Structure 1
Amino acid sequence: MSMFGNGLDAAVHKAFTRPAPKSAPAQMRYLVRQLKGTKAVAQMLRISQRTVERYVKNQIKKPRPELAARLEREVKKRWQPQIRAQARQKAATTGGIVIDTRARIGYTAPIGTTDEGRLRHLTVALPPRYAARLFDAQQAGASDQQLQQIAAEAVKEVYFQDGGRRAGQLEEIRFTDIEHLEFDL
């Protein structure tokens, strides 16, 4: 997945009310309950059905690193879907989203301005409409570049133009060389 997609998922995961299962057998049992059978879990994780059954019975406790990563990713993808939906809905309607980034940010502006991109560390509270756009684009399978463009538009309006009170001639924001990116609801 992408840097922006992972960042949005991490922000939503902070809203969880209970921790996801940690051990491999507990994660496997959770997936078996969710997918209603060991065969579906085995196909999803690309392992044998017998291996899934052995994890469920606690006969195997420590998976290979690549299987452990797939297992954790699939559990988190399905963990507390209603809480995840409520957090996204709240951010998209009332709360908005906070972006904390360290990146090279520049802009296109009229001649005579200092529009060279420079490394900036910004923490900006984005309005709910941008949170809604980011989450909708992520749900629609948008690429990292598309999510980055939405975030750049939001930073342009909120940080540079201050909601329309200044820098009205800015045309385009360049948001590149991202060193750090974190979202919070």
Structure 2
Amino acid sequence: MSDDEQQQPAPRRGKILEALAQAERKVFTRPAPKSANAQVKFLLTRAKESARSLAERVGTSTRTIERYRAGKLKKPQKRLRAALVEATESEWQPQVRARAREQASTTSGMMVEVTAYFGFACTGSSDDGRERSITTAISPTYAKQILELQEAGATEKDLHPIVAEAITESYFTEWGTRAVGLRADFTHVSKVEFLF
């Protein structure tokens, strides 16, 4: 059995977590390394040249990491490729990402575009739940909560209620000016995109 066959599966992110990661990628001022060799070399600099810690992080063997560093291997299997891309993008341009997150958390907020099933709970509401496509701003307060939860390792299940609350505030209650007491939950998310 080769080292590549012993790989662990890459961690799978939910739609909200993936959308937040994509929003961060859009603020990069330079493209992240694309080839597996360049990604391994970059990640090794971030891991203080520890092939062992990088191997544990991406779910492969130390020997495989060393072979990519030396250029003996060039094309990783799908799981390793996904883990390398995710790890590289999470480490790439930390100051650029931090500035974008800080701005979203303090002044500009974020935009969200979502297609999901929205259900409502409100006294006297006649609007039945249904699938909607919504594009709306999220206030800096909610952006900060969402980004802090993401940073703390929140799961998709943890993020759903806060994103629903943010969309409810900005879209359905128009920042608290109408439909007081409305609560919208969203499920069956088919598409979600954030923009800093």
Q: Which runs of 5+ in 2 are unaligned?
A: 1-12
Amino acid at match of 1:55: Y
Q: Please name the residue that 1:83 is paired with.
A: 96
| The one of 31, 34, 37 aligned to 1:19 | 31
Q: Please name the residue that 1:135 is paired with.
A: 147
Report how far residue 46 of structure 1 moved. Answer: 3.6
SS at match of 2:167: helix
Q: Structure 1 vs Structure 2: percent identity of aligned residues?
A: 39
Q: CA RMSD in A?
A: 1.5
| The one of 162, 167, 176 aligned to 1:155 | 167
Amino acid at match of 2:192: L
Q: Please name the residue that 1:110 is paired with.
A: 123
Cα distance in 1 for partners of 2:191, 2:58 equals: 31
Report how far residue 40 of structure 1 moved. Answer: 2.6
Equivalent pair of 2:15/2:191 in contact (CA under 8 Å)? no
Amino acid at match of 1:86: R
Q: Please name the residue that 1:179 is paired with.
A: 190
Equivalent pair of 1:109/1:115 in contact (CA under 8 Å)? no
SS at match of 1:163: coil
Q: Please name the residue that 1:50 is paired with.
A: 63
TM-score by length of structure 2 reads 0.87
Cα distance in 2 for partners of 1:91, 1:77 equals: 18
Equivalent pair of 1:117/1:174 in contact (CA under 8 Å)? no
Q: How many residues align?
A: 183
**What are the superposed Cα offsets for residues 105-151 of structure 1, whole Å, 9 maximum, x if unpaired?**
1211123x313101111000111111001001111222212211111
Q: Please name the residue that 2:8 is paired with.
A: none
